[in-house]
A and B are shown apart, each in its own frame.
Chain A
């Protein structure tokens, strides 16, 4: 079974803190994604990575950065957390050759106070 794990299920941080959200997949997937999900707005793509050390901006990259140093791990970084980044964050991965088969992690509910 493909497994996508996220480092925290719930996270509470203070405004201005640097926040790291980690995502790990165990199936050698080339592509990895970070989404945020807000009520009434659906899932919006923040960043994605085609492969190691590669990254592409999604629809809402402002205020975020990412890191992909190893194939299995994709990190989302909030350089200076703000209250409007309070959200559910979902990570996903897939093989390039099977782009119709995307696997999601359990999500991290981040609250910035």
Chain B
């Protein structure tokens, strides 16, 4: 069975601060995929990134960056110079590459960015 833990329930920052959202996962499979999704107040789930277990290279996309470390089973997400529009709930998720595996989600971290 897979498990995803997002220990931070809610984070509040002021605009322009950097913020890191933590994600720790558990799986016995060697081939798996990790994801981050954003859910703004509208409710729609927005895909941000996917990483497979064989690619530990960190990724940067504009103000967003992701740090994948297999040694600590973590896939953390950093927003640099946060903006009010970053306010949302962020979900980390995991699926393994076998059978009809389904996505396992963390409970989400609500990020509030105030002006």
Contact = CB atoms under 8 A, between A and B. Distances in A.
Nearest to B92: A42
Interface residues of A, number: 26
Interface residues on B, range: 20 to 34
Interface stretch (A21-29, A60-68, A72-80, A95-103): A95-103
B55 interface: no
A40 B108 contact: yes
B102 A58 contact: yes
A104 B44 contact: yes
B73 to A, nearest CB: 18
A31 B103 CA distance: 12
Interface of B: 6, 9, 33, 39, 42-45, 47, 50, 52, 91, 93, 95, 97, 100-103, 105-108, 110
Interface of A: 31, 33, 37, 39-45, 48, 50, 56, 58, 88, 90, 92, 96, 99-102, 104, 106-107, 109
